[in-house]
Structure 1
Amino acid sequence: MKSNPVKAALKRGEPQVGTWLSLGTVFSSRLMARVGFPWLTIDMEHSPIDWDMAATMFAVIAEGGCVPLCRVPCGSHDHIKRALDAGAWGIVVPMVDTVEQAKAAIAACKYPPAGNRSVGGSMHALNFGASAGEYFAQANDEILVVLQTESPTGAANAEAIYSLPGVDAIFVGPNDLAAQMRGPDGRDPEPAAFEAMLQKILAAGKKTGTPVGLHTQTVAEVEKRIAEGWQFIAVGSELRMMVTQAQRFVSELKIKGSSDLARY
């Protein structure tokens, strides 16, 4: 059975930089799997990707020598089970605010006795190049479990959550964290306050020995965060990369037309 190189690298303290997939196409997934990123996360929380397409994307990513991860819509047992049975090598769970939520998500990723994941399926074993029996015996050691800290509540409970057995990494979604930090007037937090919150999360990760990462948008930001000690880092998305490069061409060519994609 194939081993999970991203999980192994994080255990060794080595930063792992990947990106997000939002387009939901087999062609783009096959190409992105061969670019050189060690991992790719299929975003099923904020993208209209269905389970059939996700399963095919997991397969072509794994066959391309890359680790396919899935951000599930929420940390429920059924979402996690279905993503793993469809062939994901790891799960990214959004909005984990409490120890109870974290324990439930971890348990859903693990077969008994470590957890309560249901035994079944066949596509997971195919993506690991294993028999079903090999997969059932070794999956608990190879599945990557990533929990997201995206609120002040999650940050307040960080040390307790990050100390739980079975947490392989923590991931910060900056947009949601900033939104959750808004004051009564609806304004985003001041940059200094937001950065202080990020550093609090990073400090909790260092204290507990749990790799912590976040979403970035530039190479310079990736390098800065790695120097600070962040390890599980996403840079942009295939959607952002496509649109940003297209916008650069349009700007350089001085083409006049409609452009309302700045948010990407």
Structure 2
Amino acid sequence: MPAPQNAFKAALNSGQPQMGCWVGLADAYTAEITASAGFDWLLIDCEHAPNDLRSMMAQLKVVEASTSKPVVRVPIGETWMIKQFLDAGAQSLLVPMVESKAQAEELVSAVRYPPVGVRGVGSALARASGFSAIPDYLTTADGEICLLVQVENRAGLADLDGILSVDGVDGVFIGPSDLAADMGHLGDPMHPEVVAAILDAMKRIKAAGKAPGILTTNLDFARTCLELGATFVATSIDVTLYAAAIRGAARQAKELLGSVEG
């Protein structure tokens, strides 16, 4: 019996656009609610959300049980950390702050078993192998891992062609906020210079045969990216959606009280 098929990777390979949402509330209960919404994929964020390995795994379980496909963003592209996340069952990883071809090559090695990579062989006690219930896990796992690298500064853009040349990188995600900051436009990811850089990157990623990805709550910009061939696009963030909704509810409640007292 082989490793579970990675439906997210299969969708990217077929060129089928996937619409997603960022999951940053760091709680399995709210992740389960989000997983019932109908997004194609959900990004469990362990870089900027207060997640650890166990909280990530709890959210991974509820997303796996839904029709949405889970993607996990690791805090940093360290081999030892990637090993733990893979053993916990994550099959699609997004790695932030990738700046060079050499770094991309190291990440490919980190997600593959020897002799082609350096992933530690501990599947016998790992959730990824069903705790040894998948007898062919070691020989089939590599092919089902989806490695997405995040380019989000000028250094990464400068070596984008090198990154794109690395076999084993399935997709490249452009991080608008960090890129804007690095380009001198902190807090303005829709600055014309930033937008131009992102769109150029999208075209190059697509032309290289990799999956282009983006997170933007600007639906017009998301449409433009999709038209350029973006394959995994997130348009919502659970934290900001909840914050806006609960603040709106509080405002309405206070307005209601004011109308009664007046």
TM-score scaled by length of structure 2: 0.87
Q: Deviations over 1:111-167 (max 9, x none)?
A: 12332111114211239xx83433222211111100001011111111110121111
1:155 touches 1:200 (CA, 8 Å); kept in 2? no
Matches of 1:22 and 1:142 in 2, distance apart?
25
Matches of 1:50 and 1:191 in 2, distance apart?
34
Tell me which residue corresponds to 2:163: 161
Gap change, CA 1:86 and 1:223, over 3 Å in 2: same
Q: CA deviation at 1:253?
A: 5.8
Structure 2's unaligned 5+ residue stretches are: 257-262
| Among candidates 91, 94, 105, match of residue 93 of structure 2 | 91
Structure 1's unaligned 5+ residue stretches are: 257-264
1:218 touches 1:236 (CA, 8 Å); kept in 2? no
Matches of 2:34 and 2:187 in 1, distance apart?
36
Tell me which residue corresponds to 1:45: 47
Matches of 1:144 and 1:189 in 2, distance apart?
27
Matches of 2:202 and 2:126 in 1, distance apart?
38
Q: CA deviation at 1:252?
A: 5.5
Equivalent position amino acid for 2:159 in 1: N
Matches of 2:205 and 2:111 in 1, distance apart?
21
1:19 touches 1:236 (CA, 8 Å); kept in 2? yes
Report whether the alignment pairs 1:26 with 2:22: no
Matches of 2:246 and 2:115 in 1, distance apart?
50
Structure number with greater Rg is 2
Matches of 1:122 and 1:161 in 2, distance apart?
30
Tell me which residue corresponds to 1:204: 204
| Among candidates 49, 53, 56, match of residue 54 of structure 1 | 56
Q: CA deviation at 1:95?
A: 0.3
Matches of 2:134 and 2:189 in 1, distance apart?
49
Tell me which residue corresponds to 1:122: 126
Q: CA deviation at 1:189?
A: 8.1
Matches of 1:220 and 1:243 in 2, distance apart?
23
Q: CA deviation at 1:244?
A: 2.3
3-state SS of paired residue (1:133): coil
Gap change, CA 1:189 and 1:222, over 3 Å in 2: closer
3-state SS of paired residue (1:236): strand
Equivalent position amino acid for 2:212 in 1: V
2:74 touches 2:96 (CA, 8 Å); kept in 1? yes
Matches of 2:187 and 2:47 in 1, distance apart?
25
Alignment length (residue pairs): 253
Tell me which residue corresponds to 1:104: 106
Q: CA deviation at 1:224?
A: 3.0
Matches of 2:190 and 2:137 in 1, distance apart?
47
2:90 touches 2:128 (CA, 8 Å); kept in 1? yes
| Among candidates 168, 180, 187, match of residue 182 of structure 2 | 180
Equivalent position amino acid for 1:215 in 2: L
3-state SS of paired residue (1:115): coil
Tell me which residue corresponds to 1:239: 239
Report whether the alignment pairs 1:6 with 2:8: yes
Matches of 2:140 and 2:11 in 1, distance apart?
18
1:173 touches 1:215 (CA, 8 Å); kept in 2? yes
Gap change, CA 1:38 and 1:207, over 3 Å in 2: same
TM-score scaled by length of structure 1: 0.87
3-state SS of paired residue (2:93): strand
Task: Give the share of equivalent positions with the same residue, in percent.
Answer: 32
1:122 touches 1:132 (CA, 8 Å); kept in 2? no
Gap change, CA 1:255 and 1:77, over 3 Å in 2: farther
Matches of 2:128 and 2:8 in 1, distance apart?
17
Tell me which residue corresponds to 2:77: 75
